[in-house]
Amino acid sequence: MIDVLLVEPDRVLGGIYERALKDAGHTVRIAGDAQNAVQMIDERRPDVVVCELILGEHNGVEFIYELRSYADWSDIPIIILTSVSPEDVGLNAKQQASLGVVDYLYKPQASLQQIVKSIQDVADAK
Amino acid sequence: MREGSSGFVVADKNLRLLRALAAELRTPLIQIARRSELASVSKQQNQASQLRDIETTADAALRLVDSYLFSTQVLLGQQRLPLEPVSVGATLYDTAQYLRRIAKLYQCDIDINISRHAGLAMANRQGLQAALTSLAYSMINSGGEQHRIVLVASKTNQGITAGVTTTNKQMSRSSLKVARQLFGMARRPLKESQTNGAGIYVADCLFEAMNAPMKVTRRQGSAGLAAVLLPSRQLALL
């Protein structure tokens, strides 16, 4: 069981992912935007951050860079779970790895099973 | 303008709109797909509630598709919007009725505030309903926690105002401006909220087709978008 911070602006989708991850035995908190996510990480450091890249006012990639700029948080694994395809983001595998992105899941194609597995991989690596 | 591989020449503006509409419709479809997956592994009592939510999301997505198809036909000149005396209050009431279920999933309350004197306006009922649906759906999607949306109809000196207000503070003058820019000249996304502006743009075009340009409104701590429709002259005859 690990502590997951889900950064997901769509409340309905957030609720669905939360249910699936809780059913798999994980603790889940949801942040609706980047600002809220930073506050939540400050309150309690999560084991993994699962992050959408379309975050309203903020760009998700900027949020990831911000996270990496803090020494205490620079090693938190990040899973990108987004509606933006990797080609559109322009983040290649090397850049993802350098940012500590352990998995890139494209929402329209990522099943709950795949999402749970990706989190489990982080738990197993701990 | 650009030429596609098949030789079609399409305006960048249309491509952006197509892309934005597809992105807006993708969200409910992802919700349906993932909730179905969740329902398939849920216990029986949870399954019933999951199925109800799937039905609600699918209904909302279908209404959105209808609104967008209708708007596209209007934009392409394939559909005229003949104006006739329409009860703005009744249209608002109907729109609120079917938006309530999807709003509940987003923990958003929908209210209606119809002034007694709102009366009949010169509008197209289907166009008005499609515009209000697009507008309200955008606001439901882009609101934060526990926000409230009000469908408003009131009589002013200029005519009959019909629109949607929200307690979401992010809805501002620039939301409308950016939505217009998005499909007019700029490539930048609508930064202030989760919506990409497609729903606002669609509503704007439909109101424009009814000779009622959309404007930003503010009232009692809420902000929103509304259009002023001309009052029906039938009223004057009564």
Q: What is the CATH number of domain B11-238?
A: 3.30.565.10
Closest chain B CA to residue A9: B194
Q: Say if B191 is an interface residue toward chain A (CB within 8 Å).
A: yes
Output the pLDDT for position B11.
65
Closest chain A CA to residue B103: A12
Q: How many other CB atoms are there within 10 angstroms of residue B12's CB atom?
A: 12
Please answer yes or no on whether B37 and A111 come within 8 Å at the CB atom. yes
Task: Yes or no: say if B147 and B108 are a contact pair by the CB < 8 Å rule.
Answer: yes
Cβ-Cβ contacts under 8 Å for A21 (sequence gap 6 or more): A4, A6, A28, A115, A116, A119
Q: B27: number of CA atoms within 13 Å, CB side?
A: 25
Model pTM score: 0.84
Distance CA B154, CA A125 (A): 61
**Sheet of A78-82, strand order:** A27-31, A3-7, A48-51, A78-82, A101-106
Closest chain B CA to residue A21: B38
Please answer yes or no on whether A10 and B23 come within 8 Å at the CB atom. no
Reported as type and span, the H/E element at residue B236 is helix B233-237
Q: B122: number of CA atoms within 13 Å, CB side?
A: 16
Task: Yes or no: say if A54 and B194 are a contact pair by the CB < 8 Å rule.
Answer: yes
Evaluate whether ipTM surpasses 0.85: yes
Nearest to A56 among B23, B41, B194 (CB): B194
Domain assignments of chain B as residue spans, ordered by start: 11-238
Q: What is the pLDDT of residues A12-55, one digit of tens each?
A: 999 999 999 999 999 999 999 899 999 999 999 999 999 999 88
Nearest to A12 among B41, B105, B144 (CB): B105
Domains of chain A: 3-125 (3.40.50.2300)
Output the pLDDT for position B190.
41
Residue B183 has pLDDT above 70, yes or no: no
Nearest to B106 among A11, A23, A57 (CB): A11
Q: How confident is the model at residue B145 (pLDDT cuts 50, 70, 90)?
A: low
Q: What is the pLDDT of residues B101-143, one digit of tens each?
A: 899 999 899 999 988 777 899 999 999 999 999 989 888 887 6
3-class secondary structure, B110: strand
Q: Say if B38 is an interface residue toward chain A (CB within 8 Å).
A: yes
For residue B143, give the nearest of B175, B164, B168 by alpha carbon.
B168
